[in-house]
Amino acid sequence: MFALRSEPPATVRHLVCLDLVRSETRLDGLDHPGLDRRIEVCRRLLLHARWRGWEITHVHPRSASRASRPVAGLEPLPSERLIYRTGVSAFSNRAFRAAIKAAPEAELVIAGFSLSSSCLATALTAHDWGLPVVLALEAVLGASIGESERSLRSIVAPFVRIAAADELIDVRRSLHVVVGGAA
């Protein structure tokens, strides 16, 4: 018999859901390649972060020209921080900077639909601050990496860790064999 049991996290993590809004799902009127897969990865990662008790911050762009309504299934809960960035990086918001300074040991896990300028700027700013940062691979880079994403990945790889979503979720660590009702 198998049972799921919550374990204390080996690493304190802070999930940053960066620009997971409807306006980011289309580029020049066309869908991003592999977008449905990326949305599903973001959903899995968000559900896992909630289950594990990670700090979660949703960062939406502040722009009068674009609506920032979240994609279905990626909406912030009332208990989760929602901030609006005015610059390229999430660090452009004072509340975000304060939250990050309050837990400097937390590893920032960035999830977005693509390795956009906001993901890149946020990751590099975190690195400049000396914070551990990881990009969720399948969320920010598609399975078939395009030439532009390949060059962006080569730029960011020396500074931040890039990890598969399954590595971050690692469900196997939460499975335990239970014999006769004893743990």
Contact between 84 and 58 (Cβ < 8 Å): no
Residue 110 CA: distances (Å) to CA of 3, 117, 142: 29, 13, 15
DSSP H helices, 53-116, are 94-102
CA 66 to chain centre: 21
The pTM assigned to this predicted structure is 0.78
Contact between 122 and 18 (Cβ < 8 Å): yes
Of residues 108 and 162, more confidence is placed in 108
Of all residues in the chain, what percent carry a pLDDT higher than 90? 37
pLDDT exceeds 70 at position 32: no
pLDDT grade for 149, boundaries at 50, 70 and 90: low
- Region 17-40: what's the mean pLDDT? 70
- Region 36-50: what's the mean pLDDT? 91
Structural tokens at position 138: 């399948």
* pLDDT attached to residue 143: 45
* pLDDT attached to residue 47: 94
Reported as type and span, the H/E element at residue 55 is strand 55-61
pLDDT exceeds 70 at position 115: yes
- Region 30-42: what's the mean pLDDT? 75
- Region 111-121: what's the mean pLDDT? 82
For 137, residues 6+ apart whose C-beta sits below 8 A from its C-beta are 162, 163, 164, 165
Mean pLDDT lowest among 29-38, 93-102, 137-146, 172-181: 172-181
DSSP H helices, the chain, are 35-52, 94-102, 117-128, 137-140, 147-156, 165-169
pLDDT exceeds 90 at position 46: yes
CA angle 164, 166, 167 (to 5 degrees): 65
Mean pLDDT lowest among 31-45, 79-93, 95-109, 131-145: 131-145
For 53, residues 6+ apart whose C-beta sits below 8 A from its C-beta are 6, 9
Domain segments of the chain: what residues? 2-177
pLDDT grade for 2, boundaries at 50, 70 and 90: very low
Closest CA to 113 of 136, 89, 93: 136
- Region 82-103: what's the mean pLDDT? 92
User: What is the average pLDDT value for the chain, to the nearest integer?
Assistant: 78
pLDDT exceeds 50 at position 5: no
CATH architecture of the domain with range 2-177:
3-Layer(aba) Sandwich (3.40)
pLDDT grade for 26, boundaries at 50, 70 and 90: low
